[in-house]
Amino acid sequence: MKLIPYILALSMAALCSNVMSEEVAEKKSAEGKRAWNEMNKEQQTALDAKADLENGLEVYEVCSACHMPEGWGMENGTFPLLAGQHRSVLIKQLADIRALNRDNPTMYPFALPESIGDAQALADVTAYITTLPMNPNNGVGPGDNLEHGKKLYDENCVKCHGDNGQGSSEKFYPRIQAQHYKYMLRQFEWIRDGKRRNANPDMVKQIKGFTNKDMVAVIDYVSRLKPPKEDLAAPNWQNPDFDD
Ligand code: HEC
Ligand code: HEC
């Protein structure tokens, strides 16, 4: 007779754990959906902070060792162009790198709060970077398959990166105009092959069928997209803030 409540209790427990595991699964999948750009607290604080450009320049001095005083990076793709990038994207990428959500062993020690400061430093340095004009002579690809590149771009990339590679500040989609070919090639391959952990899952899905040849063609095409003239520096411009 004592068996019935026992069985009842057991089945109640089973039911509960079913409900519970469903709840956990739901939460996890919601987290999965949010995970790409789940505002980490630092990112939101930096976006909301009032920026101090003078401190931004001071912080940027560390960055300039690799990204160069002009923020133009290097044509060989080691260091990306930062000038002209949407501030929201700069903040997201920095916060991701600090949170170890995007691997960047070269830069990591220089980007830590102990080296440059808290969320306010991110607000300041990114505000400073947005004052820099863009590189008029970024590195481009071989240029031998551009028609195929354009077709791939129009079909697969426009909806996020825009018809001219301008991206979207509001949606945290990077501007890819004037970025160095070799840097983009590396990032694109990492995103396709799942090595860039903070990558947008919809982009990963969109490019999963790309062969290496497709990848070269589309990035070559992107490397030739030109920002509006007023965003570009004069050809031999040097950052006057770094004059001695
Ligand atoms: C020791 C060299 C080094 C220093 C110093 C450095 N960076 Fe970087 N940074 C890199 C490298 C290398 C990458 C690209 C990593 C990759 O290939 O994924 C990068 C990437 C970035 C990106 C991502 C760009 C993109 O298009 O997604 C941002 C933003 C950035 N750095 C900002 C900064 C800022 C701001 C500072 C100064 C506080 C700084 N970096 C200091 C080497 C450096
Ligand atoms: C669903 C929207 C979406 C689509 C479609 C998409 N991208 Fe992206 N792309 C993004 C986002 C968002 C990032 C930044 C990911 C992150 O947060 O690190 C990115 C990053 C990149 C980067 C690295 C930029 C940098 O500064 O590090 C390149 C290059 C790139 N995309 C090229 C392309 C090309 C070429 C296509 C089409 C073949 C494409 N993307 C399709 C959203 C998209």
CATH number, domain containing residue 31 = 1.10.760.10
* pLDDT tens digit sequence for 60-104: 999 999 999 999 999 999 999 999 999 999 999 999 999 999 999
Domain count across the chain: 2
Q: How far apart are CA 19 and CA 42, in angstroms?
A: 34
Do 22 and 118 belong to one domain? Answer: yes
Residues 181 and 223: beta-carbon distance below 8 Å: yes
Nearest ligand atom owner, CA of 174: 2
* pLDDT tens digit sequence for 31-66: 444 578 887 889 999 999 999 999 999 999 999 999
Do 127 and 165 belong to one domain? Answer: no
Asked if the structure places residue 108 within a domain, the reply is yes
Nearest ligand atom owner, CA of 173: 2
Q: How far apart are CA 59 and CA 125, in angstroms?
A: 6
Phi, psi of 191 (to 5 degrees): -65, -45
**Domain with 158 in it:** 146-231
Above 50 in pLDDT, residue 30? no
Above 50 in pLDDT, residue 28? no
Do 41 and 106 belong to one domain? Answer: yes
Above 70 in pLDDT, residue 146? yes
The last residue of one of the domains, among 71, 105, 132, is 132
Q: How far apart are CA 185 and CA 189, in angstroms?
A: 6
In the reported structure, the alpha carbon of residue 215 is separated from the centroid of ligand 2 by a whole-number distance in angstroms of: 12
Asked if the structure places residue 78 within a domain, the reply is yes
Mean pLDDT of 111-128: 96
Higher confidence at residue 193 or residue 25? 193
Mean residue pLDDT across the chain: 89
Phi, psi of 207 (to 5 degrees): -110, 10
Do 107 and 164 belong to one domain? Answer: no
Residues 191 and 103: beta-carbon distance below 8 Å: no
Tell me the three state secondary structure of residue 31: helix
The last residue of one of the domains, among 71, 100, 132, is 132
The percentage of the chain sitting over the pLDDT mark of 90, rounded to a whole number, equals: 81
Measure the CA angle with vertex 215, ends 209 and 219; round to 5°: 140
The last residue of one of the domains, among 132, 154, 177, is 132
For ligand 2, atom 27, which residue shows the shortest CA distance?
187
Do 11 and 115 belong to one domain? Answer: yes
Distance of CA 166 to the CA centre of its chain: 14
Task: Find the residues whose C-beta lies inside 6 A of ligand 2.
Answer: 80, 152, 156-157, 159-161, 172-174, 176, 179, 184, 187-188, 198-200, 202-203, 206-207, 218, 222
Asked if the structure places residue 165 within a domain, the reply is yes
